Structure 1
Amino acid sequence: MTYRRIDELDYLRGFALLGILLMNATALLQLPLPVAGSGSELYQRLLYLLAEARFFSMFSFLFGIGFYLFIMRARGKGRNGFLLFLIRIAVLFGFGYLHSIYHPGEALMIYAVCGLLLLPFYKVNRWVNLALGAVLLGLFAVLGAKVLMPFPFMLLGVAAGQLELFRRIQERRRMFEIAAVVLIAVAAAALQYQYGLAPGEPFIPVVMEGTGDPHLEQTNQYLKAGLLIGPLVAFAYMALLLLLLQAKPIRELLDPMRAVGRMALTNYIGQTVLVLLAGQWLGLAGTADWIDCLWLCFGIYVFQLIASSVWLHYFAMGPLEWLWRAATYLRWPPVLNK
């Protein structure tokens, strides 16, 4: 079987990168607590409602699908997919290590380690992977173990690849639409439940147990609820975007998002560079208002939408993707877009 590139995955990666940028920028700029009663306070509350543990989870799921497709494509070409993926994640770990010097909360090293743990599972029965991933994800969500959640998301991604989920959306479009609408409705109810737990004042987004402080306890409930419903909301976001992509005008309108997703590694690291440069040049680090940070993020994302589209018009892949592939296969990939 030939495993062609699946455009929907690139759209989803591009969308996930927007949410990841919104969360990472707050940490990179070390934003102070917003002023009570301000628009910044509302934005902080909504950010931890709509973005925290959502987009990173989506990206983890997509990593799992990409892992499976990479190995199957390599095997289809008669290559040793196992060995090539080992090299691939070693290079990814190197990117992550360099990135962590400037962004201590970066995810690439975590992905590389999880990728290593995933290797035995690409031969495991798809239903076993699906069940194990779902059980682990539910357990970690209940425990609030955010750092452990990427692996079960990746395992579910492997199962989705084995089930050829994204290839069968068109074949079973009506069934997908019904399931997507139900999922979105349930996720909306879950978000409403979490928002009802929101603290009445600006909060430090860290779970602190046993303090006896009513505000901190309320913050804990809000953040833990976010982790609990995180998987549901992440899959609802993906379902909503896939529904929208069924309409050709929307698909064409969002095509720059697909370009951002095709250059996911370049854009992920590029976001850190752009946020830190803006923090230095504009004096935003440690002083920026949360709303200012929001506008900065949208400015960066619009830039990446345009730059990625223009770049891929002339070049075959992003610059870091080119280096990643060259290091994996030990040969120079094509540079220009033919």
Structure 2
Amino acid sequence: MTTRELPMTVPSEGLPARVRIHEVGPRDGLQNEKGTVPTAVKAEFVRRLAAAGLTTIEATSFVHPEWVPQLADAEQLFPLVAGLPVALPVLVPNERGLDRALSLGASRIAVFASATESFAKANLNRTVDEALAMFEPVVARARAAGAHVRGYLSMCFGDPWEGPVPVPQVVRVCKALTDMGCDELSLGDTIGVATPGHVGALLTALAGAGVPAPVIGVHFHDTYGQALANTYAALQHGVTTVDASAGGLGGCPYARSATGNLATEDLVWMLRGLGIDSGVDLGRLTATSVWMAGQLGRPSPSRTVRALSQQQEQ
């Protein structure tokens, strides 16, 4: 990429020097597709993301095929990418999913909890506490096998059935996940209703409850155009792990009002402008998202992908 195609770097005080991007496109992005993407295309997507400099790429989910048919090929996909020199987390819903993942050598496991009763019922057909009880042996067994465990927590800021989610309610479930042994949490704004002040209030409350910023990642959706502003607020509070999806792919199949994830390219553009290192080659990443958009038969929703692609065509 030329200098003309990159933002001017103007560092801001109080922000981290480096951010680790947790790329969720191959899992969270593709699980929301109406059609099924061929396994070979998924594997090539992961390879291209790794070549662009992403070091954590969520590969797939070991859920029952009836739940998420788009990811039914987990057993076929994971061996195709397992040799890449990157971290490849996989989502597991229960002990059976954990068995499938561990049998293929997965060393980074994620479980998916909810901060609200309504979404826990819709997503897992359990109460919040019943879901936590189900995850406890999963986390324990994963840790015993030497795996790193991430705890996703959805509906941290708002729920389509319950409305705004009280901060103490989210803190309680976060504490439960860390107490059971999760190494890392990902705070999900599943329907994209968070604003920077709300983000700051939750992170401050978590720190006060003994859940510090270094173990927290943030996962924002851009429903109301707030994902980058919310990410900036999280950086101001010491968060250094940000979830994003190449090309802005994805949403949530169990929450109709959820639109796409924060686009990785949009995040990298902001980080570059702030002088924050992510290790990602924006040109190669953009090319990857353009390629994937072609495989899906539609343009990328990422503003940065569109802008850079137009510049290169001129």
TM range (shorter): 0.3 to 0.5
Larger-gyration structure (1/2): 1
Higher helix share: 1
Higher strand share: 2
Task: Provide the TM-score with structure 2 as the length reference.
Answer: 0.35
